[in-house]
Chains A and B, each alone.
Chain A
Amino acid sequence: MKTFHYHRATSVEDAIDAAAQTQGARFVAGGTNLLDLMKLQIETPPALIDVNRLGLDKVERTDGGGLRIGALVRNTDLAADAVVRRDYAVLSRALLAGASAQLRNKATTAGNLLQRTRCPYFYDMRMPCHKRRPGSGCAALKGFNRNLAILETSDSCIATHPSDMAVAMRLLDAGVDTMAPDGMRRTIPIADFHRPPGDTPHVETALKPGELVVSITLPPPVRGRHVYRKVRDRASYAFALVSVAAVFGEDGTARFAFGGLGTRPWRAAAADAAASSGAKAVAEAALAGARTTDQNDFKKVLTARTLASVFRAQEARA
């Protein structure tokens, strides 16, 4: 690990001020992804701002009937929160499908959103990667890309977004509340928070340098049956090949979001609109424009089958 300045922030303002003093400074909360990347020297921040003592660890009702989740709420606590379990079950399910209990005990809500891809070439310092070293090339395009993305890819990058939680957040139309170095607060819709790679895959989010995520806000609950179905190479503690987040409303409408497929959590209005036509139609709508390789072409079939299974379970309950 490269040396860095360590600062234990005492308030949101202190954290933002400290970050503004050093170009390339990073905030650290759980650290479960960032510290790993620092050990590998994939990330080499000159300063680390510890935000663990900022108190952003509450789950509260908003005036509008939604939920405000502090940036530092641990994944375990969010999954187990009584309101989340009851009214936003897809979020509990997605969280519980990710990582291990030890990691969920440490990882935070904001950190989960900001975690980086597990593309093997992003991790391999000897290989070119536009995300790690802009302009160096992409070894994944012609490399081992079985679990890489098929939607919103570019000629520069096909890295999959790894988060399960973010897929549920996308489904639920979360907003990411931030504070910028100039003290300005804003809410970034989750749909705009992660960016498709284009020709700048190293720019992964809409956050500006030094901008801190302070909370995630959910709108009022989406009523219906909440589902998160994750398919992976082993039964636990593995990243998704394909995952489907869904809410089936009592009126026959449904909404869907997908993990394992996109360079960011994937949602398509056409897929929601196809709900009444069944799993196959939803899969076709969701996968329109998919660009696959010989190795990851199976994800199209797997998406259709995962949706078929989700629909079958829904019909069995109806």
Chain B
Amino acid sequence: MTIDDISRRGILKGGSALAVAMPAIASAQAKVPNGSAGGKMTSVTMTINGEDRHLDLDPRTTLLDALREHLHQTGTKKGCDHGQCGACTVIVEGRRINSCLTLAVMHDGDSVTTIEGLGSPDKLHPMQKAFIVHDGYQCGYCTPGQICSAVAMLDEIEAGIPSHVTDDLEKVRFSDDELRERMSGNICRCAAYPNIIAAIRDVAGKDAA
């Protein structure tokens, strides 16, 4: 078997076979109405980066898998797939969320912005440009999530949403401490953090604080 044969699909298949062999949990034995196996295809329409997209999906499909596997928008990355790393961060209805922890069918009618929608190689978003200028990455895997997160995060500060490190809940101020706290949901195992902070500060038009 070459490395190319070890597809994620193959691994997922192996994983579900293993799970079948596991002892059933009490709730798994609950009856399913009409003897159906469940999981019937469900239709969903979302606006992805400004374009209406219609999909018929197995309801188990996460927003992340819908983007990557069905719409082939592979800019959004799958890191942990458990909401711990932030690599899958996208902006839904103006808010950053972990696309791995939500089902696509829960977003019928929603507007989704991914890294592909923020900018293009010809026309970079200011945050993308700043990440390049400040070298805000090494391997780059977490970068699309970092950038989507950073763009929405600045809007959150602008909207006056406080954070854990905000002294006075009524007065949200811009600082490096605020950036670090607010970006803690995006892990960078190359530890490019200082440069990520520099890039975000640059876009926000603020000096080091």
Contact = CB atoms under 8 A, between A and B. Distances in A.
A213 to B, nearest CB: 18
B162 to A, nearest CB: 6
Given A43-B27, A102-B86, A105-B95, A3 B161 contact: no
Contacts of A25: 30
B6 interface: no
Contacts of A76: 95, 156, 161
Nearest to B177: A235
Interface in A54-91: 76, 79-80, 85-86, 89
A6 B30 contact: no
Contact of B27 (A32, A45, A89, A103): A45
A1 B60 contact: yes
B22 A41 contact: yes
Interface stretch (A16-24, A141-149, A171-179, A191-199): A16-24
A132 interface: yes
A85 B162 contact: yes
Interface stretch (A92-100, A272-280, A301-309): A92-100
A133 interface: yes
Interface in A1-18: 1-6, 8
Given A43-B27, A101-B156, A133-B25, A4 B185 contact: no
A237 B83 CA distance: 11
Contacts of B39: 3-5
A3 B38 contact: yes
Interface residues of B, number: 55
Nearest to A50: B106
Given A35-B102, A96-B163, A46 B184 contact: no
A99 B31 CA distance: 35
Contacts of B62: 35
Contacts of A236: 164, 180-181, 184
B99 to A, nearest CB: 9
Contacts of B86: 100, 102
Give chain A's interface residue range (CB within 8 Å of chain B): 35 or more
A99 B98 CA distance: 12
Contacts of B33: 5, 21-22, 47
A108 to B, nearest CB: 12
A83 B71 CA distance: 42
A147 B40 CA distance: 41
B162 A101 contact: no
Interface in B139-169: 149, 153, 156, 159-164, 166, 169
A109 interface: no
Contact of A101 (B40, B153, B170): B153
Contact of B30 (A22, A39, A80, A89): A22
Which of B101, B160, B170 has the largest count of A CB atoms less than 10 A from its CB? B101
A79 B169 CA distance: 9
Contacts of A105: 95-97
A50 B153 CA distance: 27
Contacts of A24: 27-28, 30
Contacts of A132: 25
A101 B182 contact: yes
B37 interface: yes
Contact of A85 (B101, B170, B184): B170
Nearest to A45: B27
B82 interface: yes
A94 B116 CA distance: 35
B161 A103 contact: no
B105 interface: yes
Given A5-B38, A6-B105, A100-B86, A22 B25 contact: no
Contacts of B19: 2, 41, 125
A221 interface: no
A47 B38 contact: yes
Contacts of A39: 81-82
A48 B22 CA distance: 22
B89 A36 contact: no
Contact of A106 (B97, B159, B161): B97
A189 interface: no
B103 interface: yes
A125 B27 CA distance: 15
Contacts of A48: 59
Interface of B: 19, 22-28, 30-33, 36-40, 42, 58-60, 62, 81-83, 86, 89, 95-98, 101-103, 105-106, 108, 149, 153, 156, 159-164, 166, 169-170, 180-182, 184-186
Given A3-B38, A101-B156, 10 more contacts: A3-B39, A3-B60, A4-B39, A22-B31, A41-B25, A42-B25, A44-B24, A47-B33, A96-B163, A101-B149
